[in-house]
Amino acid sequence: MEIVLKKGKEKKIKNFYLWIFKDEVENFEKVRKEPIQIVDVKSSTGEFLGKAFFNPKSHIVARILTRENEKINADFFKTRIKNAIERRKKLKIKSDAIRLIHAEADEIPGLIVDKFANYLAIQTRIAGIENFKHEIVKILTDTVKISGIYERNDMESRKEEGLEISSGELYGHVPRYVQIEENGLKFIVDLHYGQKTGFYLDQRDNRKKVKELIHKGDRVLDLFCYSGAFSIYCASAGAKVIGVDSDRSATDLARENAKLNQVNDKVTFLTADAFETVEQMANSGEKFDLIIIDPPAMTKTKKGAEGVKWAFHKLILNSLKMLEPGGKLVVSSCAYHISLDILQEAIRFASNDLGKRLRVIDVTFQPEDHPWILQMPETLYLKTIYLEVLR
């Protein structure tokens, strides 16, 4: 089967963009009742543009797999998977937890594979890659020395693809809790029920960078602390830390991680709403040397971006009230629709409201085991701004 693009829509595919939307397909009404499959993508003049996963149920109806006219089978995915893993071997990451496959950025749309010590967590986020799940599991077990693979297909986005939400063992036995090591620190990861695939691997570099900002005796507030990674990095550098998260299972695990790293006397974890807590602390005159704001994605749509900007504004406003000149603020967003410009605007509005002048120390993005494609803005999702209060 083939899908034909409307006139002019072939340009972005030729420029290495990988997604095709319903309104860009000339013959969509003709193919809309066809089953999920692999299709040839052609221009309005009949030029072959590539092969793609096709799913008429999704608003992204096609995702380019290759620009070559080649067979899409187990051997195709074996080559792509091995290439992705070989690239990771060249990275200088001091951890036994790493993202091995990062979907479109590794030329395997919809596939996420994270390695935690001797176990893999896998997500097949779209129907096309779901159809190859068993082949992919076989390739992974043949390629990577592991004891088990756990499926974390519990994300709501699968419903749009016509897929059921599911989780469980795909290979071997995978315990719920697995211990990993990162930059000399140890963390217990909940592979069965933890957020994302169990741990925020994409904040690894930021955790190390934040630790380098710490002076012994600093007071740190870690908002949306999850299982305590940022807090523990700061405490290991000699800071006194308060971590806040509304998820009790996360703060319970954070306390265990603090004990594991022998910093439990330096960290207090509160199971509470971060928005309410930061406002209460600001109103009571609390002061900190460093505040970290790292919420989960608060929107999955462009429509929700404006509301999230003002949510960030509120968090930042109350945080700045507790920072004296020389104090540091770290603001991070993992939502694609919250651009760097939107994040900067929220910070600027909050600082202007308080008459505080801020210096940008640094801006960082996702780490190199979570690569992004220049021609696909959607693959860049993590943005972090480091700031210092000047007055």
Q: Is 224 within any annotated ligand binding site?
A: yes
Contact present, 269 and 254 (Cβ < 8 Å): yes
The two structure tokens encoding residue 36: 């999920």
Q: Which residues pair with 270 in a beta bridge?
A: 244
Contact present, 4 and 25 (Cβ < 8 Å): yes
CA dist 155 to 167, 245, 361, Å? 10, 21, 35
Task: Report the candidate in 204, 36, 24 with the shortest Cα–Cα distance to residue 114.
Answer: 204
Choice among 334, 335, 343, 358 that is catalytic? 334
Contact present, 100 and 41 (Cβ < 8 Å): no
Q: Is 245 within any annotated ligand binding site?
A: yes
Q: Is 294 within any annotated ligand binding site?
A: yes
CA–chain centroid gap for 115, Å, is: 15
Q: Could you give the count of Cα atoms lying within 13 Å of 214 in the half-sphere of its Cβ?
A: 26
C-alpha angle with apex 85: 83 to 86, nearest 5 degrees? 65
225 is catalytic: no
Task: Report the candidate in 249, 101, 264, 253 with the shortest Cα–Cα distance to residue 178.
Answer: 253
Q: Which residues are annotated as a binding site?
A: 224, 245, 294
Which amino acids are annotated as binding site for S-adenosyl-L-methionine, given as ranges?
Answer: 224, 245, 294
The catalytic residue positions are 334
